[in-house]
Structure 1
Amino acid sequence: MGNRKLDLVIRAYSRGAKITSSRCCWNKFAMSVAWYTSDPRHDSFVPKQNGCNGGPFLYSVKTKGKLQNGGSDDERPKLLPSFHDADGFKKMKYRRIGCTDMIVSTVSIGGSGFGNVYGDMNEATATETLHKSLKNGLNYIDTAPWYGQGKSETYLGKALKGIPREAYIISTKVCRYEPEVQKMFDFSSTRILQSAEESLSRLNLPYVDLLQIHDVEFAPSVDMIVNESLPALQKLKDAGKCRYIGITGYPIGVLKEVVKKSHVKIDTVLSYCHLSLNDSTLLSELDFFHQHNLPVINASPIGMGLLCNAGPPEWHPARDEIKTACRKAVEYCNSKGVDITKLAIHHSISCEEVPTTLTSITTPAMLDANLSTIYDGLTADELEVKQYIIKTFFDPLKVKTWEGVELQQYHENLRQYESLLT
C-alpha cells in the first residue's frame, strides 16, 4: 500500500469523515484501500475497483454531517441552466452505474407506461410529466420494443424532441417483440441487428446509451445468448449504435449463468420485482454481481402493480398468496392514511448498492409522489407502517417469487401453437 494513499485515508478519519459502505462491500474496502483516490474539494473518497473510476462499489462519505453519494461534482450530471429547474436538480440524488460514465438519478423513468402496459395513458399529460421529470433531474429512461409493440419508443421519439441530449440517458432492449407466442421472442443475431435499427428510428436517435437483451430466460438456451445474442450487441456497440451492453430477466439464477459464461463484456444487469416490499431476493444475490464488477439496475419497485391501490393487471403472473398478501398490505396502508407506493419506492432506493430504480411515471401525481420520496424520505409513522406490513404480510410468505410461472406458460402456449401446425 502506498504511504500517500494510506495517509489520505487516515486524514479522512482524522477530519471526521465517516466512510460508509454496503455490507457486502466492506471487506473489499478494507482489502483495497490502496486503490482509493481523494477529491480535496469535498474531503471525499471514491474507490477504484479493477481500474474502474467509481467502479460498481460506490461508497458514500459523510463529511460535516452531509451525505455525499459519489462525493464530488464529478458524480453529478451537469446542470443545464437553460433547461433544468435548478432547485429540483440540486435536490436530486444520483449514483453512478458501475464502471460506466452513466450517472443517474436514484429513481428513473420506466418506459412500460408509455406503451400502455398498465392501461391507456393520456399522451399530453404524460409528455408534460416527462418534461417536468427531466427538468427536475430524473435523467434515465428505459424502454423496449415490447412495451406496446413499439408504442413506447415511438412516443419517446416524439416527446424527447427539443430536449437537450445531455439531459437524459436512455436504454432500450432487443429480443422481445409481439404478443403472439410464435412472434414473441427472437434471440438471433439477424433479428437483433434489425431490431436495434428499428428502435433507433422510432426514438429518432443515432445511438442509445445502453442496449439490453430482454428477458434472457426465454432464450432457447443460455448458450445462444452467449454465442449469438451478446456478440450481436457487441457488433452494435462497435458500430456506435450503443455505448454499453446489458442483460435483463426475472430469474436471478439465469442472469448469473449468463454472466459466468459470457465472453462479451456485460456492463449492466437489470433485475425486476426482486427489490420490493414483498420480495427482497436481490439483496442476497448482490455479492455475486459485485464480484463480477457488475451493477444491478432495479425495476418494478411496486411489483408490476401489486403494491398500489389499483392492484395488479389481469395478466400478472404472481401466485394467489402473493396477490392476497399485497392486497392486505394495501388495505392496511389505506386504513392508516399511508401511500404504499411511496413506501415501496423508498424501500428500493434505500439500497445504496443499487444505482437506480425504474418505475412508470406518466402523471403529475406519480411524479410528485416520487419527488417527495427522494427529497424527504419517510416520516416516523410511514416507517412504522412499512415495518408492520413487511413483518405481518410479507415475511410469512413461504414463496416470495413467481419464478418459472411465465416461462412454463410460454412453453405451453408455444407447444399448443406448434401442435396446430402439424
Structure 2
Amino acid sequence: MKRGPLGDTGLEVSELGFGAAPLGRLPRGGERRGIDAVHTALELGITFFDVSPFYGGTVAETVLGKALRGVERSEYVLATKVGRYGEADFDFSAGRVTRSVRESLDRLGTDHLDLVQCHDVEFGDLGQVVHETIPALRALQETGLIGAVGVTGFPLPALAYVVERTQVDTIISYCQYTLQNRRLAAWRDRFARHGTAVITASPLSMGALTNRGAPSWHPAPEDILRRCAEAAALCRDRGEELARVALQFAVNTGGFASTLVGAADPEEVRRDVRWITEPVDDDLLRAVEECLEPVRDRSWPSGRPENQEPGGTA
C-alpha cells in the first residue's frame, strides 16, 4: 500500500483510507466483524481511518476505538469530525465542538486526534465556521489534543469559501471525484494555493457506481442514476463489477492524498485492496466513460441554499 504526505500536516497517509461510517450501521451482533475489518485494513497497509460522532450516533467511533485498542498509536492516522450529530443536528459553536473533541477522545480511547474536521459545513453558517469553529479547534491544537484541522462537505464552493478565509489544513469532499463526476480535480489548485490538502471520499458515489446500484435515498437526479445503472449493466454483461472500475479510476488517476472507501467487513477490505493493485481493463473503462459522458460532472445541491455558491466557481 502506497503512502504519501497529507499536505503540510506532517502526517503520512495510505493511498486508500478506511471510511468508518459503515461501522455505525452494523447489524446486531456484527461488532466483531467490524473490528475484524479494521484489523484487516491495518494488516494490508491501510493506515488512515476516518470517522465521525454522526456515524451511527457515536457507534462508529466506539467500535473503531475498540478495534484500535492495543495497536501502536504511531501506526495509524486517526481522523474524526465535529459539528454534525444527527440528520438535522448541527452545532458548530465553539463550546460544542470543544466538548465534541473530548467526547471523541474518550470513545476512541486515545490521548490525541491526528485530524479533526468540521463535518458537512454546507449545513451550517459558514461565517461561524470561519470565525468561531476553526479558531476553537486551533485552540485545542495548541494543547496537543488535536493535530491538523480540516473541513468536509459536498459543495466545493462552500469548502473554498472557508479555505479562502481561514487556515485549513485539509478538506474532504465526497462523490466529487468519480467516473461520473470529476469536478474536484478542477478545484485542486484553488485549494493548494492556500496550503490545503485534498482527500476524496465515496469513489463509488454512495453506491451508484456499483452493480447493485444506488440506494433509494440517493440524492442524484434521475438521469444521473439511470446512466449509472446502464454502466452497471454494461459491466454485468461482461462479467465485471462497476465498483472495481470506479475504484481503480479514482485511486489510479486522482492523485489525491488519500481516497476514503467505506467498509465494515474484512472481505470488503481485502477486495478493495486487491482491486487497486489489479491491471486496469482499458477497453471496459472507455466503454463505461462513454456511457456516463452525457452526465459527466453533474452533481446536486446539498445543504443550505446560500451555501451552494458562496465563493464563486473555479
Question: TM-score under structure 2 normalisation?
Answer: 0.92
Superposition deviation, residue 170 in structure 1: 0.6
The one-letter code sitting in structure 2 at the alignment partner of 1:195 is: S
1:189 aligns with 2:91: no
Could you say what the CA RMSD is over the residues aligned between the two structures, in angstroms?
Answer: 1.9
The answer on whether the counterparts of 1:93 and 1:374 sit within 8 Å (CA) in structure 2 is: no
Matched, 1:395 2:299: no
State how far apart, in whole Å, the 2-side matches of 1:315 and 1:305 are. 11
Aligned counterpart, 1:305: 207
1:95–1:295 Cα change, 3 Å = same
Report the residue type matching 1:359 in the other structure. Answer: V
Select the structure of larger CA radius of gyration: 1
Match of 1:178 in 2: 86
In the other structure, the counterpart of 1:155 is: 63
Distance 1:130 1:217 in 2: 30
Whether the 8 Å contact between 2:150 and 2:171 is mirrored in structure 1 is yes
Contact 2:183–2:297 (8 Å) recurs in 1: no
CA–CA separation in structure 1 for the residues paired with 2:297 and 2:147? 38
1:324 to 226, 238, 241: 226
Q: 2:41·2:269 contact (CA, 8 Å) conserved in 1? A: yes
1:205-236 Cα shifts (integer Å, max 9, x gaps):
1111000000111112x211111111111111
Instruction: Kindly provide the CA deviation profile for residues 108-142 of structure 1, in whole angstroms up to 9, marking residues without a partner as x.
Output: 1001111118x778322222221121012100000
- Give the equivalent residue in structure 2 for 1:133: 41
Q: How does 1:216-235 map to 2 (within 5 A)?
A: 216-220=121-125, 222-235=126-139
- Three-state SS of the structure 2 residue aligned to 1:296 is strand
Q: Note closer, same or farther for the CA distance 1:344–1:398 as it changes in structure 2 (3 Å cut).
A: closer
Name the residue aligned to 2:311: none
Q: Please state how far the C-alpha of 1:353 moved relative to its aligned partner.
A: 3.1
What SS does the aligned partner of 1:202 have?
helix
Mapped partners of 2:276, 2:74: distance in 1: 22
Aligned-partner Cα distance in 2 for 1:194–1:344? 38
Counterpart of 2:283 (choices 384, 389, 395) is 384
Distance in 2 (CA, whole Å) between partners of 1:399 and 1:243 is: 33
Work out whether residues 208 and 242 of structure 1, in 8 Å CA contact, stay in contact via their aligned partners in 2.
Answer: yes
Determine whether 1:286 maps to 2:188: yes
1:202 alignment counterpart: 107
* Residues 365-405 of structure 1: per-residue CA shift (max 9 Å, x gap): 31222121232342xxx22112111112x21117610124x
Would the aligned equivalents of 2:51 and 2:80 in 1 still touch at CA under 8 Å?
Answer: yes
The alignment of Structure 1 onto Structure 2 pairs a total of residues equal to: 306
Deviations, residues 257-315 of structure 1 (Å, cap 9, x unaligned): 111111xx311111110000111111111111122221100000001111123322332
Q: Which stretches in structure 2 are left out of the alignment for 5+ residues?
A: 306-314
Name the residue aligned to 2:275.
373
Stretches of structure 1 lacking an aligned partner (at least 5 in a row): 1-91, 409-422
TM-score (norm 1): 0.69
1:143 shift after superposition: 0.2
